[in-house]
Chain A
């Protein structure tokens, strides 16, 4: 190809590609605009549907009607979203009436179909509806989804399983928690909350005892949402037997959270730990008890070799109820250790 034809070739290619982009942009823009108009119209119609059906649902909360006009298929999603929202705010018999109403409209079948849909958004909605409906025939399918799916679907499925059958959910949930390390704790807590501490506390405590120390700290933190007596007993047992500093720290954190003065002795032992972060955790756990009994114990930690332990100790002393500035000045004046005097001065002035 000679120079001139090469030049012409490049110019032509540029022109054609440029025109292609311009045309594509025009077509795409038209599509976007029409789609936006379609969405606005759809939202408007859905809003009209919701405005019509909200009063119908509210009217029928106390008594299930003999007959209701069917929901057109194109409004199934709008209906289920509205129905789910109501489920979230209702308690007791009204919830059951709402379920009967949904069944009479064959929404259980719609939810089953949605659960098996290829669109994840629909799947989530279907799963949530089946959970709210307490549809026991969906339990095994939900368990399968919880086992095999991604985080979002698994968690949603577990949420619904818990609503359908608490006792049957706890064991699969605990085994999933252990197996699937990618599950964030805050999402697990939401499901545990659904199950209720009276049901999950003991099985979770047993699971923690059986788990390797490396995996224990994350699970111990979940015990904050458990029954306090079971959680405290677990923490005491672990503090008696554990060697792993992370496990000790998490257990002290648990005692700090529940703050029971019966645990003073067991916490105090860890003020002598070789690790400063354990000592600091012990100081925090003691200060959470908020009783004057701990004052003489804390005073000893004012002379700790680590600045942060001394600082947290001084802060804890200051925050104790009924400890006045004069009391702290007295504590300061009876100290012989220069560091202890310094840190008290530091937090005082």
Chain B
């Protein structure tokens, strides 16, 4: 086979990969449009009915904490502001090496308190339970270090309510976030999990654990992540909702039906992307056992999270995400094209596997192929420019569509200039960020293949 034919084959492959990913994104966009439209139509009634009806399901909010001495009190104080009639807060101190437990004991006047602890899920050794003498709905578990999943499982064991909510210690929730998410469980009793839409907190003004003014960050990395988050949540996730094919709800804020999670064995302790793995396993269990269920997501921006602003933390995060994706898919690989797999086994799982998991391999090899080919004179300048324009043009188009989705719905960023900044971020994303991100994702795949990197992972927080 001559070199020219080989080059042509490569070009055709990349072209079809490109067409495929375009169609995939287009489908998600259209599907998300319906979800957002329906949500916006129902919102006036929701606002009218959001006063307490007495039917809200009580929720156990589980906050896993590892070395969070600086942020944990703020997190709990913010949770106490939730406008929700009945909820308990369970903080799980996962063997922190700092003073996390001590600051909690002092701030909330904790005392050791024997609790009914049903060991539905296996966890590391529990040292003690504490209860607050000032806030009766605050409980603390002090346990041996076992990772985030293990901490969440301990929290589930102690929780007394039918729904549990898992949040990250650094999530900033809006006060009516719980009402929005729990309404999905009330609207459809088959709902077993529901996630919210998360936005970037960098650049926002936060007072007493609440975002009081939304603005874009001036940090370029955070700005690019803002557009990424918009894409990921506004169509990347919502697009799958009508097909009940959503494979991930954010660990930053999600609510689950406790019994459904216990039935599948809780969070998997051997994985990094525990939030995604749990969702895929829930799909797996319900599909293969023909149990009707629904996994939902709501478009309403209900929580904010701090994005890493330095390359090292961002790299760590992206490697962890890709590795989490690899683990989640590999652990449930028999769902792929399973006869009972339905829309998950036949559509969302294969598409995620190909475009999200294997995508970095194709994209990275594409970069190498074009650059090397150009350097060796196999690929012409015209060809290189054409593919560059195609790649940037499409990426920009998708980002613009996302901004449109945001414009017709929430307009979280109130200033008109914000749109310019988002466009600037979308452009800039193509000039280096996307390429380096592909490299990190590839690193994540290798990290999974060679079983390196474990644990809670560290992200340098600036505080917002």
A7 touches B8 (CB 8 A): yes
Task: Chain A residues near B44: list those with CB within 8 A.
Answer: 121, 124-125
Q: Which of A35-43, A138-146, A168-176, A195-203 contacts B (4 or more CB under 8 A)?
A: A35-43
- Shortest B401–chain A CB gap in Å is 8
With contacts A32-B407, A32-B419 known, is A14 near B56, CB below 8 A? Answer: no
A3 touches B8 (CB 8 A): yes
B364-398 vs A: 1/0 string, CB under 8 Å?
A: 00000000000000001011011111111110110
- Shortest B415–chain A CB gap in Å is 9
Cα distance, A39 to B414, chains bound together (Å): 11
Cα distance, A59 to B227, chains bound together (Å): 47
Q: Can you name the residue of chain A whose Cβ is closest to the Cβ of B11?
A: A10
A124 touches B45 (CB 8 A): yes
B49 touches A18 (CB 8 A): no
Task: Chain A residues near B8: list those with CB within 8 A.
Answer: 3, 6-7, 10
B186 touches A185 (CB 8 A): yes
With contacts A25-B393, A33-B420, A225-B54 known, is A18 near B386, CB below 8 A? Answer: yes
- Shortest A63–chain B CB gap in Å is 29
Number of B residues near A (Cβ < 8 Å) is: 50
Partner of B416, one of A37, A124, A128, A185: A37
A24 touches B397 (CB 8 A): yes
Could you tell me which residues of chain B, from 25 to 68, have a CB within 8 Å of some CB in chain A? 40-42, 44-45, 48-49, 51, 53-56
B393 touches A187 (CB 8 A): no
B383 touches A11 (CB 8 A): yes
B404 touches A28 (CB 8 A): yes
Q: Can you name the residue of chain B whose Cβ is closest to the Cβ of A15?
A: B386
- Shortest A27–chain B CB gap in Å is 9
Task: Chain B residues near A120: list those with CB within 8 A.
Answer: 41
A243 interface residue, CB < 8 Å from B?
no
Partner of B396, one of A22, A37, A349: A22
A186 touches B186 (CB 8 A): yes
- Shortest A222–chain B CB gap in Å is 9
B400 touches A29 (CB 8 A): yes
Could you tell me which residues of chain B, from 99 to 133, have a CB within 8 Å of some CB in chain A? 114, 116
A12 touches B392 (CB 8 A): no
Task: Chain A residues near B397: list those with CB within 8 A.
Answer: 21-22, 24-25, 28
A189 interface residue, CB < 8 Å from B?
yes
Q: Can you name the residue of chain B whose Cβ is closest to the Cβ of A311?
A: B116
Q: Can you name the residue of chain B whose Cβ is closest to the Cβ of A155?
A: B45
Q: Can you name the residue of chain B whose Cβ is closest to the Cβ of A81?
A: B44
Cα distance, A63 to B225, chains bound together (Å): 56
Number of A residues near B (Cβ < 8 Å) is: 51
Could you tell me which residues of chain B, from 167 to 216, have a CB within 8 Å of some CB in chain A? 183, 186-187
A18 touches B54 (CB 8 A): no
Q: Can you name the residue of chain A whose Cβ is closest to the Cβ of B46?
A: A152
A249 interface residue, CB < 8 Å from B?
no
Task: Chain A residues near B40: list those with CB within 8 A.
Answer: 121
Partner of A18, one of B7, B12, B41, B392: B392
Partner of B55, one of A10, A19, A189: A189
With contacts A185-B55, A185-B186, A187-B53 known, is A18 near B394, CB below 8 A? Answer: yes
* Partner-A contacts on B (CB < 8 A): 4-5, 7-8, 11-12, 15, 40-42, 44-45, 48-49, 51, 53-56, 114, 116, 183, 186-187, 380, 382-383, 385-394, 396-397, 399-401, 403-404, 407, 411, 416, 419-420, 423
* Partner-B contacts on A (CB < 8 A): 3, 6-7, 10-15, 17-22, 24-25, 28-29, 32-33, 35-37, 39-40, 120-121, 124-125, 128, 151-152, 155-156, 159, 184-187, 189-190, 193, 221, 224-225, 308, 311, 346-347, 349
Besides A29-B403, A190-B49, 5 more A-B contacts (Cβ < 8 Å) are: A18-B393, A19-B389, A21-B397, A25-B400, A187-B49
